[in-house]
Amino acid sequence: MPHTPSRRAVLRGVAITGAVVMGFDTGTRSWATTASGSGSGSGLARVPALDGTLVMDDASLSAASDDYGHIVHRRPVAVLRPGSVRDVVAMVRFCNTHRLPVAPRGQGHATNGQAQVEGGLVVETATLADIGPVGPHSTTVTVGAGARWSEVAEAALAHGLTPPVFTDYLELSVGGTLSVGGFGGMTHRHGAQVDNVTGLQVVTGAGEFTDCSPTRHPDLFHAVLAGLGQCAIVVGATLRLVRAPETVRHYLLPYDDLETFLDDQRLLVQEERFAYVEGQVSADADGVFRVLTLEAAAYGPPAGPAPDDAVLLRGLRHDPAGVERTDRPYYDFLDRIAPSVEALKKAGLWTYAHPWLNLLLPGRAAAAVTGDLLDALTPGDVGPGIVLVYPVLRERLTTPLLRTPDDPVPYLFAVLRTTPPEDTATVDRLLAANRSAYEAAAAVGGTQYPVGSIPFTRADWRTHFGSAWPRLAAAKRSYDPCGILVPGQGVF
């Protein structure tokens, strides 16, 4: 991103709401307003008229300088709350003209400054959240990029339908998860969320509104899904829908041996015995990470047969004495972590630092690598966070930019660390531990799932994208020729 004198001049002169031009007085270092029409005469760069608002107040800029990681802070000069897609087009063009960096921000749940932009424009997509229409026979629904998955689920469920894949936490934006991938316990059946998109409406880095799909501008479509916001801002997405179950039978199955646990998980996803398979590892009373819980869910009618314990649990090697089984409505199952989130918020832990580690390991090395990483882990390294391990099926993951190990059954391994943000020495130590873990994973053909906080160089990104790099780089040149989009990812 060129940091030119002209860019500085624009930063001093950003402006506007309606007929009033706002300008920045460099002498007093404060914002001032002038009547519309006098902007150009006063040397201020005139911002286009908007349907929504462009805000520059301290609270909005501070909020946009933070995220769920609470580690990285980059301050934009303005935040756009678009009233329309036209606003996004107009402001991206404005930013192109003046070489201002831009980042869309959904719910700000990235952990490493990915949606932040120093001295640029943050586009908050929350105002672009229309959903629908959906009817009982819909096979897709088109939603605004700022819609949260909880809202999409509720709208679809009103007609007995559902997107096939959800993340564990539903309050993430559609645009935010489609820019990274979107994994969940259903991924072994249906791929990631990006694999269940039939069309996208985007504003490219050059400020062009474009509809794209696997057959319409496919290069753009494939550069946007899991493309970390590098080529375009998603403003709308058409998502696949399937029949939803009314109820779900949810199991927690305890294991005491890592290899047995991983093998049973693999068996379940290869057999597709359950609709959903995940797993957690927690520390025992001695602080050793060896309490293993396989989490599985079977969908009942009309999405599946009435669940039968004997059939579902046949041959599994968990401790039968510790099985927890609940039948619950489908939405309650999807939203199952909501009570824990509320408790974390109440306890003030939601605003702790989250130097997360998210890896994808080749199945052939999963036991060895997770074994080593878990052996080295202490309760202090995780805090009130959790450790997740679960397999996916590679044949279901078809999005080129969602990089996964070359193995039929990769495992997602995530250490969702939670630690006081003011203890920067610990945060730095955990970031360094993330890097070491990434290197151990990469040495056996693993990748990172890029939602966490692993120190990563541009060269690492090239390695990460591997054979997909030339196409991503070409799409970047075509669709974001001035290189203004999403510098916080550090890819280009």
Summarize as ranges the residues that interact with ligand FAD (CB under 6 A): 67-68, 103-110, 114-115, 125, 145, 167-169, 172-173, 175-177, 179-184, 228-229, 233-234, 451, 486, 488-489
Q: Based on CB atoms, which residue is closest to ligand FAD, 407 or 480? A: 480
At its nearest, how many Å lie between ligand FAD and the CB of residue 452?
8
- Given a contact cutoff of 8 angstroms between Cβ atoms, the answer to whether 475 and 201 are in contact is no
Give me the least distance between CB of 441 and ligand FAD, in Å please. 17
Measured from the CB atom, the residue of 63 and 368 that comes closer to ligand FAD is 63
Q: Which residues contact 170 (CB under 8 A, 6 or more apart)?
A: 148, 149, 150, 153, 334, 335, 338
Among residues 60 and 114, whose Cβ is nearest to ligand FAD? 114
Q: Kind of pairing, strands 140-144 and 121-124?
A: unpaired
Q: How far is the CB of 377 from ligand FAD (least distance, A)?
A: 19
Q: What's phi and psi for 163, nearest 5 deg?
A: -60, 145
Rank residues 67 and 460 by Cβ distance to ligand FAD and give the closer one: 67
Q: Based on CB atoms, which residue is closest to ligand FAD, 65 or 260?
A: 65
Q: In angstroms, what is the minimal distance from the CB of 278 to ligand FAD?
A: 9
> Which residue, 21 or 414, is less far from ligand FAD as judged by CB?
414
Q: Which is nearer to ligand FAD, 216 or 345 (CB)?
A: 345
What the block records as the tokens of 279 is 């797993």
Q: Which is nearer to ligand FAD, 176 or 245 (CB)?
A: 176
Least gap, CB of 173 to ligand FAD (angstroms): 3
Buried b (16+ CB within 10 A) or exposed e, 262-301: bebbbebbeeebbbbbbbbbebeeeeebbebbbbbbbbbe
Contact, 191 vs 400, CB < 8 A? Answer: no
Spatial separation of the C-alpha atoms in residues 360 and 403, rounded to whole Å? 9
Looking at the DSSP bridge assignments, the partners of residue 81 are: 53
Of the candidates 266, 226, 238, which has an alpha carbon nearest to the alpha carbon of residue 468? 226
The C-alpha atoms of residue 243 and residue 265 are separated, in whole angstroms, by: 25
At closest approach, how far in Å is the CB of 83 from ligand FAD? 16
By C-beta, is 235 or 283 nearer to ligand FAD?
235
* Beta carbon nearer to ligand FAD, 22 or 178: 178
Helix axes of 363-376 and 258-271: crossing angle, nearest 10 degrees: 140
- Tell me the closest approach of the beta carbon of residue 110 to ligand FAD, in angstroms: 3
3-state secondary structure of 476: helix
Q: How far separated are the first and last CA of the chain, in Å rounded?
A: 9
Least distance to ligand FAD, CB of residue 336, Å: 11
Q: How far is the CB of 98 from ligand FAD (least distance, A)?
A: 20
**Residue in 149, 75, 151 with CA at minimum distance from that of residue 109:** 149
Lookup result for tokens 């286009």? 48
Q: Is the peptide bond before 379 cis (omega within 30 degrees of 0)?
A: no
| Separation between Cα atoms, residue 46 and residue 23, nearest integer Å | 9
Q: Kindly state the smallest distance separating residue 451's Cβ from ligand FAD, in Å.
A: 4
Helical pair 458-465 and 469-479, crossing angle rounded to 10 deg: 120
